[in-house]
Amino acid sequence: NANNGELALTRREFGEAVNTPTAGVVWYPIPQVGPFFNFSESFSGIPLGAPLLNSRAQPDAPRGRTKEYGVYFRLFAERLQGSIRYYDSISDGRIVNAPGLANLNAMWNAMGLSANVETGTPRDTQVLISTGYEFELIANLTKSWRTSFNYALPHSEQNDSFPETKAYRALHLAQWQAAAATNPTVATNLQTFNTAIEAGNDGREQNTALKYRANLYSSYDFREGRLRGFGFGGGANLYGDQIAGNALGQPYNYIYSKGYYVATAHLAYAAKFRNTRYKVQLNISNLFDEQKLIYTSVARYTAPAGSAGITGDYFAGFRYVEPRKFTLTTTFDF
């Protein structure tokens, strides 16, 4: 409690029995190709955290449902295997942090109403509908040479996002708008607060959504000769353009952070000492030490009148690709 420092807890009893069925079937009309279908439902407990922003109640438990359709294939004496699938998934009541908290608190402070400042991290909810296609291929080109490749075209749309934040805004909007007429700080933060809520508009793709994702890796193990026991491999993780945000007032006019790739490699040696098999392997992630900035949000800059600045939408938040990392592991089989 911000006023007296006492610990204030909220809880929610959830005594409902929940069924989470899972079912799947695959049928091979011919040995090489088999269509399949999977269905599953899920249920998540309510994670610890602050109550909902407007109602001050704890959220309901999130639930989910997924359907998958596709075919498995195994060709050339099963040296080439893989799958093609389409998935349709919905996550209802996802618990997220209420957006724009810093902005609404800045408005209360600018208005001299610090008692209204929100402490902690109030939460909100969201529905996420995800669909997409996935392709996976594993090729055992020889007994020593193995290659894998997968490619995904994901698409996620939001629905019923941030109902608590929208209700909170509706409750106080007239008060904020009146203050914004004479207070630039309130006006700026109200604009940014509205933009944060726009990020959850129905049918909008999520920030950080990728246009595509792919992974490729190939490895070779020496099974005879002087190099017997040695192995090496390399590949890359490819990330398509990623949604960082949208133009102000245009929630479906996405602004993308450019795609990138991260290379990986490994070197290994396996042998046997008496009755013990062992393997030593060095893995290198981000082989070329890629240091690209990945932008995660967009902000609006309004240039002061008479300045040389340009009003517009710019990248704001960012993160780096994880730096190059060496991992050495040793495994013993007794």
pLDDT at 297: 87
Given a cut of 90, whether residue 317 has pLDDT beyond it is no
Average pLDDT of the residues in 108-126: 93
At position 81, the amino acid (one-letter code) is: Q
Exposure of 242 by Cβ count < 10 A (0-12 exposed, 13-18 middle, 19+ buried)? Answer: buried
Task: Give the largest CA-CA distance in the chain.
Answer: 84
pLDDT at 13: 67
Given a cut of 80, whether residue 8 has pLDDT beyond it is no
Question: pLDDT tens digit string along 263-300?
Answer: 999 999 999 888 899 999 999 999 999 888 899 888 87
Name the token pair of 161.
Answer: 């996002």
pLDDT at 294: 93
- Lowest average pLDDT, out of 174-183, 302-311, 321-330, goes to 302-311
Given a cut of 90, whether residue 329 has pLDDT beyond it is yes
pLDDT at 7: 76
Average predicted confidence (pLDDT) for the chain? 91
Average pLDDT of the residues in 96-113: 94
Give the residue ranges of DSSP H helices in the chain.
101-110, 163-180, 184-198
Name the token pair of 67.
Answer: 């359907």
CB contact at 8 A, 86 and 131: yes
CA 217 to chain centre: 23
Please provide the distance, in angstroms rounded to a whole number, between the alpha carbons at the two ends of the chain.
57
Given a cut of 80, whether residue 15 has pLDDT beyond it is no
pLDDT at 18: 75
Question: pLDDT tens digit string along 184-208?
Answer: 999 999 988 988 888 888 899 988 8
Strand order from edge to edge, sheet including 145-159: 22-26, 33-43, 63-75, 80-97, 123-140, 145-159, 213-221, 230-239, 260-273, 276-285, 325-333
Given a cut of 80, whether residue 218 has pLDDT beyond it is yes
Q: What is the DSSP string of 108-120?
A: HHHTT-GGGPPPS
pLDDT at 46: 84
pLDDT at 16: 66
CA distance 121 to 114: 16
User: Considering the chain, what percentage of its residues have pLDDT values greater than 90?
Assistant: 70
pLDDT at 246: 86
Given a cut of 90, whether residue 84 has pLDDT beyond it is yes
CA distance 65 to 188: 40
Given a cut of 80, whether residue 50 has pLDDT beyond it is yes
Name the token pair of 265.
Answer: 């490699």
pLDDT at 119: 87
Average pLDDT of the residues in 240-251: 89
